[in-house]
Amino acid sequence: MTVETGRLPAEGVQRMFDRIAPVYDAMNRVMTGGLDRRWRRITVEQAVSPGDRVLDACCGTGDLAIAARRHGATDVVGLDFSAQMLERARHKAPEIEWLQGDVLALPFEDASFDSATVGFGIRNVDDLEVGVRELRRVLRSGGRLAILEITTPRGLLAPFYRVWFDRVVPLLGRVLPGGAAYTYLPASVRRFPVAEELSRLLEANGFGAVRFRLFAGGIVALHVGEAS
């Protein structure tokens, strides 16, 4: 499939994130005005308790996993498809366990974790429902899942965000070395379920007490659920 469809084959996603690894953190800061750090902190606060064993899936360069460790998690595992993303994560926090792997086939036993997080990565999973089921499988009963992800904006700010994501972000990506892959971003957001649909998918695949919170005028959603 092409970038324009918003869906890439698994090897295409892997290559894309390897390419953008050098600019990933910078692009996050630019696209969110630095607010992504606050959103990650809130994500961790909603899902992680001190002493937890935590899985950060689709961990990228590791910021969410690092936030979980700072919040008091005693054992944090970061997992990502991209070797280059993981290399940058290791440089940031060598004390955390970083593993290359696929969220569609997590290399862990059932009920291995107290909590799990995914930050700005779940929309790139080839089969979202299978990914959610895998996250449920590795969580203990009562364990918490938090998903922080871009969503389709609604309301008065929607036209502004369409210009931002369809025009400005791809342009910024072309300015930064390796950032051209960000032309994929608008299409990936358009095909991702809106917040209410993602809530229903979580509920249909083993999570209860599902709730979501919107940030940035509705462009980013934080979903939290408990493994039932």
Among the listed residues 153, 134, 135, the one whose alpha carbon sits nearest the alpha carbon of residue 144 = 135
Q: Using the structure block, give the residue that is written with the tokens 């696209």.
A: 31
E strands within 22-180?
A: 53-57, 75-80, 97-100, 113-119, 139-150
Encode pLDDT of 95-145 as tens digits: 999 999 999 999 999 999 999 999 999 998 989 999 999 999 999 999 999
What is this structure's pTM? 0.89
Do 152 and 190 touch, CB atoms closer than 8 A?
A: yes
- What is 3-227's CATH number? 3.40.50.150
E strands within the chain?
A: 53-57, 75-80, 97-100, 113-119, 139-150, 207-215, 220-227
Encode pLDDT of 169-186 as tens digits: 777 666 665 555 666 677
Q: Considering the chain, what percentage of its residues have pLDDT values greater than 90? A: 64
Angle of the 36-47 helix axis to the 63-70 helix axis, nearest 10: 50
| Rounded average pLDDT over 143-149 | 98
For residue 128, the model assigns a pLDDT of: 96
Among the listed residues 155, 217, 221, 176, the one whose alpha carbon sits nearest the alpha carbon of residue 29 = 176
Task: Tell me the pLDDT band of 62, cut-offs 50, 70 and 90.
Answer: very high
For residue 6, the model assigns a pLDDT of: 44
Statement: residue 84 has pLDDT above 70: yes
Encode pLDDT of 63-80 as tens digits: 999 999 999 999 999 999
Q: How far apart are CA 8 and CA 208, in angstroms?
A: 31
